[in-house]
Structure 1
Amino acid sequence: MAGLTYKDAGVDKEKGYEEVKLIKNLVKKTYSKNVLTDLGGFAGLFQLDLSDIKEPVLISGTDGVGTKIKLAMEMDKHDTVGIDCVAMCVNDIICQGARPLFFLDYIATGELEPAKMKSLVSGVVDGCMDASCALIGGETAEMPGIYGKDDYDLAGFAVGLADKARIITSKDLEVGDVAIAIKSSGLHSNGFSLVRKAMEVAGVSLDDKFDENSSIGEKLLTPTKIYVKEIQNLMGQVNLKAVSNITGGGLYENIPRVLKDDMDCEFVLERDDVDPIFKKIQEWGDISTDEMYSTFNMGLGMVVFVGKEDEAKVLEILGDQGKTVGQVTKGNKEVKIELR
């Protein structure tokens, strides 16, 4: 009788080799001249170009997709959550003025299915290309006993570069500065535990119709918008005093992270501007408006702060994606929201 093998324990090494073959050409699409290694080595090598940087500072961030993954698994649609993974990382580091350089992903699963993993990585590749960064490495871990056969999780790690003098720190933020929001693409990748609970309470299915073009599931899986191009463009033309990524906790949690101790931010928002998906979620769970704004981005994916003199320029650059939504006032790091 032959002894136990790793495959007997639930880990199929051959499928891992097959996955690498399937994703290798996909990943290469993100490479630049700075990438010095190919997929399959022990580490990813990235050569820094510091020719236009006086005092280089590396800025890093890590995040995952959260329970939005559950919807992807239930719908058997895996090609968009990779975009979410990249977005949740790079959208954080650009708040400090970083230019994303490279990205690494980590996928853990109960049973490795190469085709599914290829679909996941294809989303990561799409996100990296949108963020203008290279996917230089990653890890797929087959973990039977920890994850169910069809379960997986996805996390990522982004590294960016900034010149120390151009790091966005809020040091120049003043009372009277304006807050300009850049639209979100939907929920992004936050609050899905509440979304799923609200759907359960209301008896709503992912297959139910949302509008003429999509089901509720498709609407909820809309990938997180990546704001790298917008922030880099603004940095080149105006003085961005502060940038806040509106992730979990909404405006109430994320705006104070960039305010000084003696400042508030007062928002005046239009009810009609809110994406209908947020209204549906609120209706499904009979959720209070305060809870909605404390959990979701409510259509405001990123908020930038500039002096009044730069307001018109920022709005011109952003076009229909930007809108003035608030102003910095004296206070103690509170967020006040007026809905009209």
Structure 2
Amino acid sequence: MSGANYKDAGVDIDAGNALVEAIKGDAKSTSRSGVVSGLGGFGAMFDLKAAGYSDPILVAGTDGVGTKLKVAIAMQSHTTVGIDLVAMCVNDLVVQGAEPLFFLDYYATGKLDVKAGKDIIAGIAEGCRQSGAALIGGETAEMPGMYGGGDYDLAGFCVGAVDRDAVLTGDKVQDGDVILGLASSGLHSNGFSLVRKVVSDAVIGGPADTKMQAAVRDHIVDKARLAYQVEAPFAPFNAQGKTLGEALLVPTKIYVKSCLAAIKSGGVHALSHITGGGVLENIPRVLPDGLAAEVDATAWDTPDVFRWLQREGNIAATEMARTFNCGVGMAVVVDATKAAELKAVFEAEGETVFEIGRIIPRPQGNEGVVLLNADKAWG
């Protein structure tokens, strides 16, 4: 009889080593000034002085992709979720004026699929290239019994830096400032538990009121994958012949380079990454006490995916504003005298920009956002 071994227990060390070898080229393609070590060591090193900082403040963030991964797994399409992973981290860092320096990932699965793993890491490398961060390390964990079938989870960790006198804290925001909205690429990586429910309810013909309906919903959406294979019911994807799954997997937009360019131009008082919590909960995070954001929901073009979700799920306008970005992925509070100039800077960096509101004294009892015309935009 042969003795017990790790592979028989469900962990394939050789597959893990093969994945490390397969991704070395992707990691190398993200190298930047300041990187001291490559993949394979116990720890990765980074030289802040070599990166050009004289009096740096480090800014760190961590995030995941959420249940958008369930759509990727159902579609067996893993090439873009790595971009989502990086985007969710680096977009948070740039809000404080920080340049992303390096990124590490955590990839956990029940059974390692080297091809899927390479696709995921290639997406992470692409996100790092878009944001200027170096992919300097990570962890692949094969955990049989913890994850079923082809399931996996992702987490990302990013460290950035900003010189002490350039940190964005929101303390310069003042009454009369203009709020610019940078267009999103779609859903980004928020609200997918609700998205999946709306999709599955549409398939079974109504809300999952019973355990049996819930089981049918999960079978159809997460096992058979039928729901995501239909043609996308909203523009522009229906005109392109894209499936619903492909449309939902459009990766999160990375705003790092455009925001850093705008900050350098002067006049940016605050940035707010519109993630979970939507417009209603994210903009107040960067406002001083006593001030609020007056936002007109009709001031920007709401992508059809959001209108479709609202209609199919009969989602209230306030729930839309609290769950999804609704078409604005980054809000930028700027000096009113610099608004036109900064709009041009963003557009030169490839952003679609809308003037979506202004800063006002906070009304009594208001939590930080006065949202206008929400029912007209999404009701």
Relative to the length of structure 1, the TM-score reads: 0.97
Displacement of 1:271 in angstroms is: 7.4
Q: 1: distance between equivalents of 2:32 and 2:341? A: 32
Q: Deviations over 1:266-312 (max 9, x none)?
A: 11122771000001111221111111111000000000101111111
Q: Residue 14 of structure 2: SS of its match in structure 1? A: helix
Q: Residue 255 of structure 1: SS of its match in structure 2? A: helix
Computed over aligned residues only, the root mean square deviation of the Cα atoms, in angstroms, reads 1.4
- Which structure 1 segments of 5+ residues have no match? none
Q: 1: distance between equivalents of 2:142 and 2:250? A: 27
CA contact 1:56–1:163 (8 Å) conserved in 2: yes
Q: Residue 273 of structure 1: SS of its match in structure 2? A: coil
The runs of at least 4 aligned residues of structure 1 exceeding 4 Å deviation read none
How many pairs align?
340
Map of 1:251 onto structure 2: 279
Map of 1:61 onto structure 2: 61
Displacement of 1:55 in angstroms is: 2.1
Map of 2:208 onto structure 1: none
Q: Residue 248 of structure 1: SS of its match in structure 2? A: coil
Map of 1:115 onto structure 2: 115
Displacement of 1:54 in angstroms is: 3.9
Q: Residue 139 of structure 1: SS of its match in structure 2? A: strand
Q: 2: distance between equivalents of 1:221 and 1:109? A: 20
Map of 2:239 onto structure 1: 212
- Which structure 2 segments of 5+ residues have no match? 205-226, 233-237
Map of 1:334 onto structure 2: 368
Map of 2:215 onto structure 1: none
Q: 2: distance between equivalents of 1:32 and 1:295? A: 36
Q: Which amino acid aligns with 1:279?
A: R
Deviates more, 1:252-261 or 1:204-213: 204-213
Map of 1:190 onto structure 2: 190
Q: Residue 79 of structure 2: SS of its match in structure 1? A: coil
Q: 2: distance between equivalents of 1:171 and 1:235? A: 15
Q: Which amino acid aligns with 1:207?
A: Q
Displacement of 1:333 in angstroms is: 4.2
Percent sequence identity over aligned pairs: 46
Classify 1:23/1:336 alpha carbon distance in 2 versus 1 (closer, same or farther; 3 Å). same
Displacement of 1:38 in angstroms is: 1.9
Q: Deviations over 1:218-241 (max 9, x none)?
A: 111000000011111101112211
Map of 1:236 onto structure 2: 264
Displacement of 1:8 in angstroms is: 1.2
Relative to the length of structure 2, the TM-score reads: 0.87
CA contact 1:50–1:56 (8 Å) conserved in 2: no
TM alignment of 1:291-310, pairs within 5 A: 291-310=319-338
Classify 1:115/1:335 alpha carbon distance in 2 versus 1 (closer, same or farther; 3 Å). same
CA contact 1:265–1:333 (8 Å) conserved in 2: no
Q: Residue 37 of structure 1: SS of its match in structure 2? A: coil
CA contact 1:260–1:333 (8 Å) conserved in 2: no
